[in-house]
């Protein structure tokens, strides 16, 4: 395309190209239009002309203006889908840019391209707002029998001399090597802060973090990655909504509907909100069969209902709730709905568009990912109506002595330095879950849970809480009459078996069940039938010992 012999000739050519740019509106030189990640100041705007996008841009550096001119010429007067599919790299090769651009210039060029693609994607999403996005997931590529060796901790020999049987998966899952290695690779090879600097490490880390955001968006079938907010976990996500959306839209006398199945993280923030605003909390009870009472739920809904917050899956009972029908009933009275999907996401079958919930929250550590990272999905129109919750770096467009303007979503809600490495490591976690498939995960869990349930339910003094196995995930919650739950936990631990004991951060549910604490064995796809048998043998021995005493 262009045959230039020396770097000086190429620089001169770029400067000449920069002089061909149309004048840029000085009033548009604002932070919202600045391209972050460039060594020089670069501004870029766009407008719709028919069905095509037209870009306007400039820079304070003559050579960079030439790079800007290349992009404006390449991407203008194209439809959004054409821009997203345009092969820009061959054009860069034709211009021989890589051979003489410094790393900083190369990263700036990359940042400009990403800004253009983000604008095109945003316009494409608006064009197809009425057409639900459907993400095609890859076919499962491995069986549950092939995955155990990917989890190094599962082969651990404990101080008791027993091999580990890990049955506390509802509290947190274990991590495969791909997740562990991704974190090590980020720290060892390309760690830097994101969305700020223009150097190589910053560009690589930003790319990896945003690739993870896109991966999560695809995993839950979100319409756009802009609706995916990185948080510190499910609890942080719920508190963000309660503080930002709740403080803005909940008033005295408004009603908040919760269920008796909720984890404390989906109770306490709403109690705090009610205390601040004078709102009233209503409760959906559970039935004798360990399901939510939908008849009572329907009666609770009315014109004063402003929010429904419910769990997709109970962390104690394993009950899988009819989320879509409950969301529809709430929307019929104009209520906003938040779904706690922390216990649903590990099984890989969370589709935010199918749910139609306004907010969906979950944690990375329950789905093979790191601790300290969680997600908030929100419908973009709602997120854009919400004020920033935390103030600081990264969540602003401009700051003056008089005040500030907040950034667009998702960055509006990601103040400060993020859990960068943890966010990056979510992508291999998602990839791993998809390689097995939600159907295989749930089928294997239920097989293990059903075997354990049938084996211990006939033992004297064993009481089990939860619906039939086909109505829940792989959670087995029980009490042994005459044996304190803490004692059960300690005795099983001496046999190398890890379960959860206590109230599981669900005290209202335990009060409803008439118990102070319970024991919970939660199975996952990497557990085995042999581990179930060890668990059953240990429980049987406890019951027989109690009978002998």
CATH number of residue 530's parent domain: 3.90.1150.10
- pLDDT score recorded for residue 360: 98
393 and 315 in a single domain? The answer is yes
Looking at 127, 153, 188, which one is the last position of a domain?
127
Residue 204 lies in a domain: no
As given in the structure block, the two tokens for residue 523 are 């199975």
404 and 541 in a single domain? The answer is no
Contact residues for 404 (Cβ-Cβ < 8 A; gap 6+)? 391, 396, 397, 398
370 and 460 in a single domain? The answer is no
| 131 has pLDDT over 60 | no
Beta strand pairing call for 518-522 and 500-502: antiparallel
How does pLDDT run across 108-121, given as a tens digit for each residue?
A: 677 778 788 778 87
- pLDDT score recorded for residue 39: 63
| pLDDT, the chain, mean | 90
| 461 has pLDDT over 50 | yes
pLDDT bin (cut points 50, 70, 90) of residue 390 is very high
Q: What is the mean pLDDT of residues 321-334?
A: 98
Per-residue CA distances from 225 to 159, 209, 222, 267, 321 (Å)? 45, 12, 7, 28, 26
- pLDDT score recorded for residue 133: 60
* Residue span of the structural domain in which 335 resides: 226-415
379 and 454 in a single domain? The answer is no
d(CA 493, CA 312): 30
pLDDT bin (cut points 50, 70, 90) of residue 104 is very low
- pLDDT score recorded for residue 95: 64
d(CA 168, CA 340): 19
- pLDDT score recorded for residue 7: 57
Q: Which residue has the higher pLDDT, 6 or 429?
A: 429
Residue 196 lies in a domain: no
282 and 331 in a single domain? The answer is yes
Q: What is the CATH number of the domain that holds 347?
A: 3.40.640.10
d(CA 31, CA 480): 62
393 and 253 in a single domain? The answer is yes
Contact residues for 202 (Cβ-Cβ < 8 A; gap 6+)? 37, 107, 192, 193, 194, 196
- pLDDT score recorded for residue 118: 76
Q: Which residue has the higher pLDDT, 78 or 292?
A: 292
- Lay out the sheet containing 305-311: strands in order across: 228-231, 374-378, 359-363, 336-340, 305-311, 255-259, 280-284
| 463 has pLDDT over 90 | yes
How does pLDDT run across 198-252, given as a tens digit for each residue?
A: 677 887 888 889 899 999 999 999 999 999 999 999 999 999 999 999 999 999 9
Q: Which residue has the higher pLDDT, 223 or 102?
A: 223
Per-residue CA distances from 204 to 40, 373, 449 (Å)? 19, 20, 43
| 5 has pLDDT over 60 | no
Per-residue CA distances from 491 to 317, 459, 495, 533 (Å)? 23, 17, 7, 16
Domain count, the chain: 3
| 102 has pLDDT over 80 | no
355 and 308 in a single domain? The answer is yes
Residue 458 lies in a domain: yes
- pLDDT score recorded for residue 4: 43
Q: What is the mean pLDDT of residues 79-98?
A: 73
Residue 26 lies in a domain: yes
Q: What is the mean pLDDT of residues 532-538?
A: 98
pLDDT bin (cut points 50, 70, 90) of residue 1 is very low
| 122 has pLDDT over 80 | no
Q: What is the mean pLDDT of residues 407-422?
A: 92
345 and 459 in a single domain? The answer is no
- pLDDT score recorded for residue 132: 58
Q: What is the mean pLDDT of residues 376-389?
A: 95
CB distance 522 to 500 below 8 Å: yes
- pLDDT score recorded for residue 84: 79
Looking at 415, 447, 474, which one is the last position of a domain?
415
- pLDDT score recorded for residue 69: 83
Note the Cα 81 to chain centre separation in Å: 26
> Which residue among 38, 147, 505, 519 is the active-site one?
505
Lowest-confidence range among 123-127, 258-262, 424-428? 123-127
| 485 has pLDDT over 90 | yes
383 and 524 in a single domain? The answer is no
Q: Which residue has the higher pLDDT, 243 or 75?
A: 243
Task: Name the one residue in this structure whose structure tokens are 């990497």.
Answer: 526
SS3 405: strand
Residue 167 lies in a domain: no
Lowest-confidence range among 62-76, 171-185, 318-332? 62-76
Q: What is the CATH number of the domain that holds 54?
A: 3.90.1010.10
- pLDDT score recorded for residue 93: 66
335 and 453 in a single domain? The answer is no
Residue 147 lies in a domain: no
Lowest-confidence range among 59-73, 144-158, 338-352, 400-414? 59-73
- pLDDT score recorded for residue 249: 98
367 and 318 in a single domain? The answer is yes
Residue 40 lies in a domain: yes
As given in the structure block, the two tokens for residue 354 are 């199918």
Residue 194 lies in a domain: no
- pLDDT score recorded for residue 103: 47
| 8 has pLDDT over 80 | no
Lowest-confidence range among 228-237, 324-333, 346-355? 346-355
| 36 has pLDDT over 70 | no
Q: Is 505 a catalytic residue?
A: yes
d(CA 208, CA 436): 23
pLDDT bin (cut points 50, 70, 90) of residue 301 is very high
Q: What is the mean pLDDT of residues 426-433?
A: 97
pLDDT bin (cut points 50, 70, 90) of residue 398 is confident
Quickly list DSSP for 83-133: HHH--HHHHHHHTT-TTT--HHHHHHHHHHHHHHHHHHHHHHHHHTTTS--
Looking at 100, 127, 154, which one is the last position of a domain?
127
d(CA 474, CA 481): 23
| Nearest Cα to Cα of residue 309 among 354, 344, 267 | 267
241 and 384 in a single domain? The answer is yes
């Amino acid at each position: 395309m262009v045959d230039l012999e020396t770097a000086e000739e190429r620089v001169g050519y770029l400067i000449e190209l920069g002089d061909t740019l149309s004048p840029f509106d000085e009033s548009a030189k604002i932070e919202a239009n600045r391209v972050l990640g460039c060594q020089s100041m670069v501004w870029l705007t766009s407008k719709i002309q028919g069905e095509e996008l037209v870009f306007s841009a400039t820079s304070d550096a003559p050579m960079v203006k030439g790079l800007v001119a290349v992009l404006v010429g390449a991407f203008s007067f194209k439809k959004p889908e054409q821009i997203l599919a345009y092969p820009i790299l061959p054009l860069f090769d034709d211009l021989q840019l890589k051979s003489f651009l410094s790393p900083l210039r190369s990263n700036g060029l990359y940042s400009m391209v990403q800004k253009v693609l983000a604008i095109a994607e945003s316009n494409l999403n608006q064009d197809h707002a009425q057409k639900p996005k459907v993400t095609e997931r890859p076919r499962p590529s491995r069986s549950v029998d092939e995955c155990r060796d990917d989890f190094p901790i599962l082969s651990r020999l404990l101080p008791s001399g027993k091999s580990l049987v890990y049955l506390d998966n509802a509290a947190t899952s274990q991590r495969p090597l791909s997740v562990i290695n991704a974190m090590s690779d980020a720290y060892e090879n390309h760690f830097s802060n994101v969305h700020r600097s223009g150097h190589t490490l910053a560009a690589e880390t930003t790319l990896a973090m945003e690739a993870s955001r896109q991966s999560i968006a695809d995993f839950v079938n979100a319409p756009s990655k802009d609706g995916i907010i990185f948080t510190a976990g499910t609890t942080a996500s719920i508190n963000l909504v309660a503080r930002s959306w709740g403080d803005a839209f909940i008033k005295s006398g408004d009603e908040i509907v919760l269920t008796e199945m909720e984890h404390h993280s989906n109770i306490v923030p709403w109690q705090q909100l009610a205390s601040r605003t004078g709102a009233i909390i209503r409760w959906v009870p559970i039935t004798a069969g360990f399901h939510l009472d939908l008849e009572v739920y329907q009666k609770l809904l009315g014109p004063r209902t402003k929010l429904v917050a419910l769990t997709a899956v109970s962390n104690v009972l394993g009950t899988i709730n009819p989320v879509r029908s409950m969301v529809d009933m709430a929307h019929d009275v104009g209520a906003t709905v938040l779904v706690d999907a922390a216990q649903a996401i590990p099984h890989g079958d969370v589709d935010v568009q199918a749910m139609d919930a306004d907010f969906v929250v979950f944690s990375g550590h329950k789905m093979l990912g790191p601790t300290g990272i969680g997600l908030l999905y929100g419908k973009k129109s709602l997120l854009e109506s919400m004020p920033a919750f935390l103030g600081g770096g990264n969540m602003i467009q401009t700051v003056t002595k008089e005040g500030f303007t907040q950034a667009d979503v998702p960055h509006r809600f990601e103040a400060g330095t993020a859990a960068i490495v943890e966010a990056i490591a979510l992508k291999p976690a998602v990839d791993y879950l998809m390689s097995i498939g939600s159907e295989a995960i749930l089928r294997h869990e239920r097989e293990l849970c059903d075997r354990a349930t049938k084996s211990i339910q006939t033992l004297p003094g064993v009481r089990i809480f939860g619906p039939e196995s086909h109505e829940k995930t792989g959670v087995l919650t029980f009490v042994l009459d005459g044996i304190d739950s803490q004692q059960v936990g300690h005795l099983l631990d001496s046999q190398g078996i890890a379960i959860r004991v206590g109230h599981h951060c669900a005290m209202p549910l335990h009060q409803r069940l008439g118990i102070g604490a319970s024991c919970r064995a939660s199975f996952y796809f990497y557990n085995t039938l042999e581990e179930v048998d060890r668990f059953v043998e240990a429980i049987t021995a406890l019951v027989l010992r109690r009978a002998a005493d």
